[in-house]
Structure formats: C-alpha cells, structure tokens
Chains A and B, each alone.
Chain A
Amino acid sequence: MHEGVAAYVLGVLDEDEHEAFERHLDTCASCQAELKELAETPDLLDELKFLPAASEDDPPMPMPR
C-alpha cells in the first residue's frame, strides 16, 4: 500500500484506488511524510513542457542515449 504514494502524488491512480489510498493516508505517518517530500516533484516534471522542442501532440520525451 505504501508504494502507492508516488502514484497518488502524480495523480495517476485509478478512481477507486485513489479513494482507498486517501483512507490509508488518513492514518499512515510514513505515507504522510512521503507525501510532503514528494508534493513538489510533479511541478518539476511539468517543467518538461518548457523544453525548446516541446509540442502539443508529442509530449516531451528524453532522447535515447
């Protein structure tokens, strides 16, 4: 259950799992701490929209090595 915190922060849990995780979060101190730690990470991923090559139809992906 604890591993769901990353998917929760990113907002990619399916609806029923989202509800279940929120109830877990009510009382799980370790997930509460991780939520605080990870809450800003999606904002950093959002920065990828500002990559010079970004376009609407083709979300920015890192180039292969």
Chain B
Amino acid sequence: MLTHVDDRFESADAEAEHRTASLHREFGGPLRRHVRGLTGNDLRWTEDVVREAIGKAGRDPARRHWEPGLLWAWLVTEARRLVRDGCRRDGVHAQETAADGADRALSAIVVSAALRDLSEEHREVIEQTYLRGRTISEAAEILGIPPGTVKSRLYYGIKALRALLADKGVAG
C-alpha cells in the first residue's frame, strides 16, 4: 500500500504499476471507445487491447515524461497494431459496425477521391501496405522495389494524402 512514498523509494515494479493505474484513469475511457471502433465492438478483444497498450506504456520509462497529446497518439497507434496483429494471426476481420452508414459512405468517397489524386507511386505503396494488410517487406517483394524505398514513398504519400484531405476539409 503506497500512500505518500517518494518516487525514488518505489521499486521499478511498483512504479510501473502506479503509472499504469494513472494512465488507465486518464486514457482508459477514450481509448476503449476508440478501440471498439477497430474491433467492431468486440468488448473482450477491446479490453485485452486496451490493457496491453496501457500496460506497455506504463512499464516503459521512456514514456514517463511524455505529454498527454503524444501519449494518446502513441496509445492509439499501439492499439491499432495490436488489433491488426490479432487479425493477421487469427485470420479474422473485425466486424464493421453498421452505425451511421451514410456519413461513413460519404467520408469513404472523399478519402477514395483523395487517394486517386495521389501520384501512382504514392497510391501504390499505401494500397500495397496498409490497405492490403501487408508489412513493408512483404509489399517491397510484391512491388519489386527495396523496402527502404517503400518506406520512404509511404512517408511522402501519407503526407500528401493528409494535405489533400485537409484541403477537402477532412483531417483538419
């Protein structure tokens, strides 16, 4: 039971536990809502992903001094990776939630139009990695270009996509 113990006297384990609990309080609710969108509202899977992502952040001393905006960006990125790993491992697709279909179809059309406006090289690497569920090296093999080139094109492609979407009023 830790009441008011100076950080320096806590063991590394107790400190990680403490940190994890505080991250759960700060980010647990919003992260759970976000992850439910990725798992197709699978509550047990969502809970596992949230616990694993927050636990990893809590154990890592390098994350200790990050500000909330950066921590949130890291948490959603880690959670997405965990969901995708789960899909790849089990060969399942997260169920799509049927909610607000019309709005989603509309954003889908906007995003699809923005992809079409990208250069062929940029569009190709986004399709062959993220949209096909492939890693950089898998995509590199399929495209017959070095992994470093895929990675670099992906960087500039994603930046270009973001700029196009910002012009269309998405991703402000």
A15-55 to B contact mask, C-beta < 8 Å, 1/0: 00110000001110000100111111111111111111010
Shortest CB–CB separation between residue A8 and chain B, in angstroms?
A: 7
B130 A42 Cβ-Cβ under 8 A: yes
User: Known contacts A42-B80, A45-B130, A56-B93: does B159 contact A6 (CB below 8 Å)?
Assistant: yes
When the two chains form the complex, which single residue of B62, B126, B137 contacts A45, counting CB atoms closer than 8 Å?
B126
B74 A41 Cβ-Cβ under 8 A: no
Chain B residues, CB < 8 A from A46: 38
Residue on B with the closest CB to A8? B77
Question: CA of A54 to CA of B133 in the docked complex: distance in angstroms?
Answer: 15
A44 B70 Cβ-Cβ under 8 A: no
Residue on B with the closest CB to A13? B136
A59 B131 Cβ-Cβ under 8 A: yes
Shortest CB–CB separation between residue A45 and chain B, in angstroms?
A: 6
Chain B residues, CB < 8 A from A13: 135-136
B23 within 8 A of A: no
B152 A65 Cβ-Cβ under 8 A: no
Shortest CB–CB separation between residue A44 and chain B, in angstroms?
A: 5
Question: Which stretch (B25-33, B43-51, B108-116) binds chain A?
Answer: B108-116
Chain A residues, CB < 8 A from B41: none
B22 within 8 A of A: no
B171 A40 Cβ-Cβ under 8 A: yes
A47 B154 Cβ-Cβ under 8 A: no
Residues of A at under 8 Å CB distance from B? 3-14, 17-18, 25-27, 32, 35-52, 54, 56, 59-63, 65
Residues of B at under 8 Å CB distance from A? 37-38, 62, 66, 69-70, 72-74, 76-77, 80-81, 84, 93, 96, 101, 104-105, 107-109, 111-113, 115-116, 123, 126-127, 129-137, 139, 151-152, 154-155, 157-159, 161-162, 165, 170-171
What are 14 A-to-B residue pairs whose CB atoms are below 8 Å?
A6-B154, A7-B129, A11-B81, A11-B84, A11-B130, A13-B136, A41-B162, A41-B171, A48-B111, A49-B108, A51-B105, A51-B112, A63-B116, A65-B116
